[in-house]
């Protein structure tokens, strides 16, 4: 069975529910976290902002990121599974809460008769 993102990061789960998983990811200045794979949509809440890069497991740039304190990002999952890691290029510690959403989508409703 593949490892979950928080397991690959070595992060403790704050919420371990059937429908929601939540953990904190901290990336000190100039450092990076291990590569991990997201298989479900997730929300990122930035507790302490910084700028850096999201890189794939080969070290190739996925995108440059500038995360501001208080920012909330909904990672909808168009590109799941997504394997990446974060490299903090700033002089500030990046602290993010990841909230993974495992709630099944509501069925689409057709026109009412």
**Per-residue pLDDT tens listing for the chain (113 residues):** 899 999 999 999 999 999 999 999 999 999 999 999 999 999 999 999 999 999 999 999 999 999 999 999 999 878 899 999 999 999 999 999 999 999 765 455 545 54
Share of the chain residues as helix, strand and coil, in percent rounded to the nearest 5:
5, 50, 45
H or E element at residue 91: none
Does 81 sit behind a cis peptide bond, omega within 30 degrees of 0 on the bond before it?
A: yes
Q: The whole model's pTM is what?
A: 0.86
Alpha helices in the chain (DSSP H): 5-9
**What is the Cα Rg of the chain in Å?**
15
């Amino acid at each position: 069975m593949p490892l979950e993102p928080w397991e690959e990061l070595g992060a403790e789960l704050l919420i371990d529910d059937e429908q929601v998983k939540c953990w904190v990811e901290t990336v000190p200045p100039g450092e990076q976290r291990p590569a991990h794979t997201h298989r479900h949509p997730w929300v990122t809440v930035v507790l302490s902002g910084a700028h850096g890069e999201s890189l794939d497991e080969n070290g190739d740039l996925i995108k440059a990121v500038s995360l501001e304190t208080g920012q909330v990002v909904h990672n909808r999952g168009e590109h799941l599974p997504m394997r990446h890691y974060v490299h903090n290029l700033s002089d500030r510690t990046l602290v993010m809460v990841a909230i993974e959403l495992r709630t099944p989508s509501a069925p689409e409703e057709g026109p009412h008769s």
